[in-house]
Chain A
Amino acid sequence: MDQGLIPFYKIIADYIKISFVPLAIIFSTIFLLLLFLIGALGTYAERKISADIQKRLGPNRVGPFGLFQFIADALKMILKQNLMPKGVNSFLFFIAPLFAFLTITFSILVLPFSDTIFLIDFSMSAYFLVAISSLMGIGIFLGGYASGSTWGLLGGVRGACQMISYEVPLVISLFSITILSGETSLQGINHAQSGMPFYWFIFHNPFSFISFFIFFICIMAETNRAPFDLPESESELVSGFHTEYSGMKYAFFAISEFSQVFVVSLVASVLFLGGYNLPLNFFDGVLKNILQLITLFLKTGTLYFFIIVFRWTLPRLKADQLITLSWKYLTPIAIFCLVGSTCWMVFFNGKSLWEVCLFF
Chain B
Amino acid sequence: MGSMFVFLILIIILSLLSIFLNNIIYIVLSLIGLFFNLAFIYMSLDLEFLGIVQLMVNMGGVVVLILFSILLTDQEKNPKLLKKNKKNYLLATIATSFFLFIIMKSIPEHTLKEKVEIPLTVLTKYLITNFLLSFELASFVLLGVLILAVTLVRGVKS
Contacts and interface: CB of A to CB of B under 8 A. Distances in A.
A135 B61 CA distance: 11
Given A135-B59, A164-B61, A95 B67 contact: no
Interface stretch (A70-78, A121-129, A278-286, A307-315): A121-129
Interface residues of B, number: 20
A184 interface: yes
Given A145-B67, A164-B60, 9 more contacts: A91-B26, A92-B25, A128-B48, A131-B52, A131-B60, A134-B55, A135-B59, A141-B64, A157-B71
9 contacts: A95-B29, A123-B48, A124-B120, A127-B56, A134-B55, A138-B59, A142-B25, A145-B25, A145-B67
Contact of B64 (A95, A127, A132, A134): A134
Interface in A116-166: 122-124, 127-128, 130-132, 134-135, 137-138, 141-142, 145, 157, 160, 163-164
B25 A134 contact: no
Contacts of A232: none
B63 interface: yes
A257 interface: no
A132 B35 CA distance: 12
Given A95-B29, A145-B25, A134 B59 contact: yes
B120 A184 contact: yes
Contacts of B51: 124
B32 interface: yes
A331 B3 CA distance: 40
B68 interface: yes
A340 B50 CA distance: 28
B64 A138 contact: yes
Q: Which 6 A-B pairs have the closest CB atoms?
A: A134-B60, A131-B55, A131-B56, A124-B48, A124-B52, A127-B52
A115 interface: no
Interface in A70-118: 89, 91-92, 95
Contacts of A184: 120
Contacts of A167: 60
B110 to A, nearest CB: 24
B49 interface: yes
Interface residues of A, number: 26
A89 B48 CA distance: 36
B64 A128 contact: no
Given A131-B60, A134-B60, A160 B25 contact: no
Nearest to B56: A131
Contacts of A157: 68, 71
B61 to A, nearest CB: 7
B70 to A, nearest CB: 9
A34 B125 CA distance: 42
Interface string B18-57: 0000000110010010000000000100001101100110
A138 B55 contact: no
B74 to A, nearest CB: 15
B61 A131 contact: no
Contacts of B68: 157, 160
Contacts of A141: 64, 67
A94 to B, nearest CB: 12
A164 B68 CA distance: 11
A128 B25 contact: no
B6 to A, nearest CB: 16
Contacts of B29: 92, 95, 142
A164 B52 contact: no
A137 B51 CA distance: 19
A22 to B, nearest CB: 16
A137 B52 contact: no
A159 B55 CA distance: 19
A138 B25 CA distance: 12
B48 A138 contact: no
B49 A164 contact: no
A132 B32 contact: no
B120 A130 contact: no
B48 A122 contact: yes
